[in-house]
Each structure stands twice: as C-alpha cells, then as structure tokens.
Structure 1
Amino acid sequence: MANNSVYRTNIVGGREVGVAVTVDMDKNDIHQTNSLFWDTKGNEVLGATALPLYGAFVSEEKCQLFGDVTGKKLLEIGCGSGESLRYQGERNAGELWGMDLSPNQIEKTKQLLAAHGLSANLVCAPMEEQCGIPEFYFDFVYSVYAIGWTTDLEGTFRRIASYLKKDGSFIFSWSHPIHKCVVAENDKLVFKKNYFDESWYSVSLGDSTLSLSDRKLSTYVNALSKAGFVIEQMIEESDDDIIQSWNADNEFANKARMLPVTFVIKARKL
C-alpha cells in the first residue's frame, strides 16, 4: 500500500496512537489489511464492541432504539464474533443475518450462536459489495462499531437501503469524530488532529496493522440523505451511569464527561 510518509497523532479505540501513516486509498489493499487484522489480532487488540453497548458509554438498554424485535428480520453489518446477534436472538428476533469481512469472525459467530441454541444466515464479504443478501427484506439493518471500516460510505449506505423494507430502520454506531481528534494531556483536552482530515491512514498496533479513515459527522449525515434515509434520532451523550462505573481517575471516562466519544444514528428508509 503506497504512502506519503506523513506521520500524525491519531486515536484508535480509547487510546492515542502516536504513529499513523497517511496512505493512498486502495480498496483491495485496505480490505486485505483489515481482514487479516480481524482474522488474527483484532479482538485481542481492540476488543469487541457489542450490544447492548453501542460503544463506550452508550447502551441500547437506555436508548431503546430497537424497541421490541419479536418476529423481526435483522441484518448486522460487521457481525464480529456474534455477540450482538446473540443479544438480538435472545430478544426473540424472528430471523438473524450477519455479514463480516473476516472468515475468522464468521466462524466465531457460528460457534457462539450454536452454543446458545441460535442460528443465523452468515455471509463473509466486504460490506460494500453485492453478496446475495436479499433486498427489500429486513425490518432492521444495524452495525455496532463496524460501519466506519467501509471504503465506500455512500455506496454502503445505498446497499443497506436496498436491503431494508420501506420504513425499515438502519441503526449504527461509530467513534465520534471529535473524540478521534482530541487527546488528554496534563489534565487538559488538546486537539491533535484536523477534524476535516478524512484521508486514509495505516496504524501498527504491536505486530498487527489496520487501515481507517476518520470521517466528519456531516459526511455520515449527507451520505444517509443521498441513500434515501431520514434521520430519526442521533445520540452523542455519554451515559453518566456507565461513566460512574469506571474508575474515577480513568482518562477515557473523564474525557467522555467533556465531549462525545461515541455517536449512534437511527435512520428510516423512505
């Protein structure tokens, strides 16, 4: 993957990453890099974010974005190790589907669901590509900390819209772009990255490498609009009850008191 050797501070997960190399956006290279990351060290390095949590300090139990899913058809984009699908299955969802870029993650999902007496239709493919998922079929499509991995946001949102029934809901979460720009230093919050910089970058975490782009909030909103969605709800606030459960001196929790670290959007297909 070509790069222009521009080094910058960035944030992956809840911590500052000191060396992030700006790279050219090549879809195939990025898919290969990120698939290998999640096939090997992804869960170990970044952990797994899954419902009922949408990410740091935001929960479905408080937000109630899904409501009653009994009998509903649900598709998860970036199903990871299957914990969110298990959560929905145990809430009596009628039909479960999941897709993920990583064959290893798909296998983990199969094993987890089987261990809990559940099953899902699972597809191993990039979220940007046509992969046999039925159209005009689902009541909900959702993604928990996965949608930001796409190499084509507008194309992915158009494809997700095609999966949904009319008036179906798309719910997704990701790291808030302001969080990705600000670090804690000497009891202060300091901007370390240009909010408007959406270039792709590569980060090495131990012996693993991943590639991402930090998109502006308006980029997500405008892409949803172009794909035929109307936003019904957006959540930026951290749940104070969850923050209080963390250690009082935890820098990440203290940061969440000052600015949003996770955002969640619920949109309806027109």
Structure 2
Amino acid sequence: MNENILIQNKQSWDTMADSWSGSTALPEYGCLIPTEEELGLFPDLSEKKVLDIGCGSGHSLKWCGDKGASELWGLDLSSKQIDIARQFLCDNNYEAKLFNSPMEVSCGLPAEYFDVVYSIYAIGWTVDLETTFHNVASYLKKDGVFIFSWDHPLMHCLEANDNSLMFKESYLMEEDFSYAQRGNPVTIKNRKLSTYINSLAEAGFLVERLVEETDRQVMEMSAPFQEGYYTPYKAKNFPLSFIIKARKL
C-alpha cells in the first residue's frame, strides 16, 4: 500500500471537500450515464443495513435512508468529508455511523453484517484494489450486494482533439498518474475493466451486471465536437463511466 499517495489524497480532499458537497450522489452514478431510477440495480432497501465506501458529503446515505434502510454506515478517507456528512445527515434527521479511514484498512467495521455495500465514484481512489475488495467482501453477509461506479478506463486513454477522438495512452498500461484537481494534487491509478472483474472474482464475488451506457437523452441529442473531460461528444462515442453490480458468494 502506498502511504504517501493516501496522505497526499487525504490532504487534498480535506482542502476541497466543501466544493464537492452533494456532487455525484445516488440516484446518480456519474456524469452522463443512466441513473439508479433507470437501472434499478439496488434491491429493496427497507430494513437493510447499508455501507457507503467513500461516503463524501452523505447525500447517497440520505437517499438510502429515504428508501427505508434501517442502518446507515459510511467510510471516507477525508476527515472533512466525514464532518460534512455527519452534519448533513443530522440536519436531515438521520443518524449514521461514520468512519474516517482509508478503504484499504480494516478500521473496525463489523464482519458479515451488511446487506448492501456501495461506492459511488470513489472506488477508483483505492491504492490497493485487491485488499479493498476483500475488505468489502468481509463486511457483507452471504448473498450481500456490492455496487460501485467509476470512470471508464477508456477515459484515461482517449482525448478529444482536432474534431476527433484520439488515443493518447495505451489501455493496457496500469500505472499511477498524478494531476491537479481543483488546484490540489491527487494521484490515482488507471485499471482495465478485466482488473476490476478478476479482482472481484478473487475476493469471492459473482458479477451480476456490468453497465457501460450513456444516458438516453444524451444519445438522442445533438452533440457537436467539444473539448473537455466529461462531454456529450465523448459520451455519444464511448461510455464515460461504468457500473458493476456483484454478489458475495
């Protein structure tokens, strides 16, 4: 596990947490992709115990509470995000058990306890995917559901330039890369889809569904060439995000 990356990313997320409050939260899975309302990946949450990996500002946990979940638990690397989530949930009359910890570390979450574990655009921040998936498996009951979303691996490989899409890097290269996010240094790792699926299998999961789609409204709209990271032009040509639903065997 790369402790230096975890320290850097924590410091950066503590700095910019306020600016991300409420962003990319259920029922949304990501930018320009179908929502949970369209996909129906979650089971009935009535009286279910749920855990959010990378809970951010707590908006996804509130969504789960509104759907009838009996217990709300969250985990986040950023202490600032945890503070924001705790206050937001309290303001909305929800009590949650929140842990400030990297997802790669066993932090005292109960074993074989949760019905559903999910991660909305956070799982890709892990510096150790295999350990993270094994941790998630340990938290879930048998037949428990794990759902997560993240940037599609092609996003790191393709760029819009000169009115066309061009490969800038190999899809096959799985390396750490650093960049500035809202002025703060962060480091993540690009991974192939097969890496996510094989790592899930090794952790004892059965993949039930892989979603690589663009929102229907985007596909039906006119989307002229446009530079940028998340753009309708890109989304009409390849998926910007992916979602996986898996079940613990």
- Please tell me the TM-score bracket, short chain as reference: over 0.9
Match of 1:269 in 2: 248
Q: After superposition, what is the alpha-carbon deviation per residue over 1:151-171, rounded to whole angstroms, capped at 9, x for unaligned?
A: 110111011000000000000
Question: How many Å separate the matches in 1 of 2:131 and 2:142?
Answer: 19
Maintained 8 Å contact 2:17/2:81: no
Match of 2:64 in 1: 88
Match of 1:209 in 2: 185
Match of 1:235 in 2: 211
Amino acid in the other structure paired with 2:3: N
Question: How many Å separate the matches in 2 of 1:250 and 1:70?
Answer: 44
Cα distance change, pair 114–46 in 1 and its aligned pair in 2 (3 A): closer
Stretch of structure 1 that moved more, 247-256 or 217-226: 247-256
Measure how far apart 1:186 and its partner are: 2.3
1:90-239 to structure 2, matched below 5 A, reads 90-205=66-181, 207-239=183-215
Counterpart selection for 1:37 from 1, 9, 12: 12
Q: After superposition, what is the alpha-carbon deviation per residue over 1:69-92, rounded to whole angstroms, capped at 9, x for unaligned?
A: 111000000001111111111111
Counterpart selection for 1:54 from 4, 29, 39: 29
Unaligned 5+ runs, structure 2? none
Cα distance change, pair 115–244 in 1 and its aligned pair in 2 (3 A): farther
Percent identical residues: 47
Cα distance change, pair 233–168 in 1 and its aligned pair in 2 (3 A): same
Length-normalised TM-score, structure 1: 0.86
Q: After superposition, what is the alpha-carbon deviation per residue over 1:206-255, rounded to whole angstroms, capped at 9, x for unaligned?
A: 5310010011111001100000000001100111125668x844731121
Match of 2:234 in 1: 255
Cα distance change, pair 191–43 in 1 and its aligned pair in 2 (3 A): farther
Amino acid in the other structure paired with 1:224: L
Cα distance change, pair 244–64 in 1 and its aligned pair in 2 (3 A): same
Q: How many corresponding residue pairs?
A: 244
Maintained 8 Å contact 1:201/1:212: yes
SS at match of 1:258: coil
Structure number with the higher strand fraction is 1
Unaligned 5+ runs, structure 1? 1-25
Question: How many Å separate the matches in 2 of 1:76 and 1:190?
Answer: 35
Q: Once superposed, what is the RMSD of the aligned Cα atoms?
A: 1.8
Length-normalised TM-score, structure 2: 0.93
Q: After superposition, what is the alpha-carbon deviation per residue over 1:47-70, rounded to whole angstroms, capped at 9, x for unaligned?
A: 821111111123101010003211
Question: How many Å separate the matches in 1 of 2:165 and 2:154?
Answer: 11
Amino acid in the other structure paired with 1:253: P
